[in-house]
Copies of this chain bind each other. A is one copy, B any other.
Amino acid sequence: MKWYKIFTPELKELIDSKNLKGLSLILREIHPADIADIIRELEPTERVIAFRVLDKTKIAEVFSLLDPEEEEELLRYFTEQRVKEILLEMSPDDRTQLLDELPASVVNKLLKLLPKEERDEANLLLNYPPQSAGRVMTTEYVDLRTEITVSEALEHIRKTGPDRETIYTCYAINEKRILCGVASLKDIILAKPDQKISEIMIENVFKINTTDDQEEAVKVIQKYDFLSLPVVDSENRLVGIITVDDILDIAEEEATEDFHKMAAIQLPEEKYFRSGFFKHLSGRVVWLFVLILAATISGKLLQKYSLALSSIIALAYFIPMLMGAGGNIGSQSSTLVVRALATGELTLRQWWKVLVRETCAGIVIGAVLGTTAFFIAIILLKNTMLGITVGISVTTVVAVGNLAGAATPLIFRYLRLDPAIVSAPLITTIIDVTGIIIYFEIAKRILNI
């Protein structure tokens, strides 16, 4: 239950009556993520009033949780001074994300508002490739020099901590900012006050490069259960961290991207309503267009078999059933393999295990569905030979379709292509063509046409 929803009408009333004090009292008690949800329900002018009573830190937090268009719209209502305050208060990774999605002209105007240091940092972060670790990292981490003591470290954490994204994992660096080790706040608290950081740190640090794919960070954090992961440049100097809360968001986005790819959709943006109508269209129509062209082959093949088809018109009745069964089993096996590859459970080395398993599965399932199809054909047409034809065809198409669905993603991975491109629509189209050939070649032999 979204309990804060009960407040929305009350909030609206407070805003309309310009009771800023009451508004401030209520909003102080509400989590930024919930305020963001409430803000979305308000009219633009009401939003500006709600923002007026929030304190600086909360404004920046709420602001970074909104969608880019909502952010852009709000920015237009704020004074330049206010915009500057918000930008400075935002954490560097949220700021990058905002600047990343705004039009270039707006970005330039905003960057000019920032002091040189923050401007340089923003420019630096924006220069890392999209979806790279550098693009999503934050520069607000705790670094500790290896030679200081535990009590000095705690003093340093107390002083700098409030501004940091996390203080629970601290990174040890030397005078050249080279990453030397990692110490959790737990280790620091449990250590003796006069121990040196170099004595308590773990030297074998898992890290990631600025140019590595963000998905790499997801895999490392998921496997080793870290709260944050250090990001280093090519000279092994510490330049940022990625925290686990961002990893959760990235993992969700990556999963959505895979869902879309597997339905032959390629959108620039994972959110349903966020991508504009025409971008949405073009992301969907490309593959469909290719696939309808590919379906010409099915048409051409049927034309080739038109003699058989016209002599026994009943053959046509089972085309949808055959295509359906082949396509469905192909979606199943390709989904199983694509997903197992994505989660890292399956590696390419195990290809033969997959193929053996799917060959067996395809034959068994094929036999079950083929027998069913045989009886359906008999009941529908009372023609045993046609029943046998349909039964054998379904069995064969299902077995072949299952194997094709399992093998194609493995081949894609071998060719260093993204296995998720092996969408259900793609597999279905491939199996359609194969299915027609199998069906009519079997029919010609059994029915002597």
Is the Cβ of A432 less than 8 Å from the Cβ of B320?
yes
Q: Is the interface of A mostly helix, strand, loop or mixed?
A: helix
**Cβ of A183 < 8 Å from any Cβ of B?**
no
Is the Cβ of B162 less than 8 Å from the Cβ of A272?
no
Q: Which of B245, B296, B302 contacts A376 (CB 8 A)?
A: B296
Is the Cβ of A248 less than 8 Å from the Cβ of B272?
no
Q: Which of B245, B272, B285, B354 contacts A244 (CB 8 A)?
A: B245
**Cβ of A295 < 8 Å from any Cβ of B?**
yes
Contacting residues, chain B, for A324 (C-beta < 8 A): 291-292, 295, 298, 323, 425, 428-429, 432
Is the Cβ of A319 less than 8 Å from the Cβ of B321?
no
**Cβ of A247 < 8 Å from any Cβ of B?**
yes
Which size bracket describes the interface of A in this complex? 35 or more
**Cβ of A249 < 8 Å from any Cβ of B?**
yes
Is the Cβ of A289 less than 8 Å from the Cβ of B368?
yes
Is the Cβ of B204 less than 8 Å from the Cβ of A221?
no
Given contacts A222-B248, A272-B345, A332-B263, A327 and B189 within 8 Å (CB-CB): no
Given contacts A222-B248, A323-B323, A292 and B373 within 8 Å (CB-CB): yes
Is the Cβ of A162 less than 8 Å from the Cβ of B189?
no
| Most B C-beta atoms less than 10 A away, residue of A224, A310, A324 | A324
| CA distance in complex: A259, B323 (Å) | 22
Is the Cβ of A336 less than 8 Å from the Cβ of B265?
yes
Binding site for B on A (CB under 8 A): 29, 31, 33, 154, 157-158, 161-162, 167-168, 185-186, 189-190, 204, 206, 221-225, 227, 244-245, 247-249, 251-252, 255-256, 258-260, 262-265, 271-273, 277, 280-281, 284-285, 287-289, 291-293, 295-296, 298-300, 302-303, 306, 309-310, 313-314, 316-321, 323-325, 327-329, 331-332, 334-340, 343, 345-346, 353-354, 357, 360-361, 364-365, 368-369, 372-373, 376-377, 380-381, 394, 423-425, 428-429, 432, 436
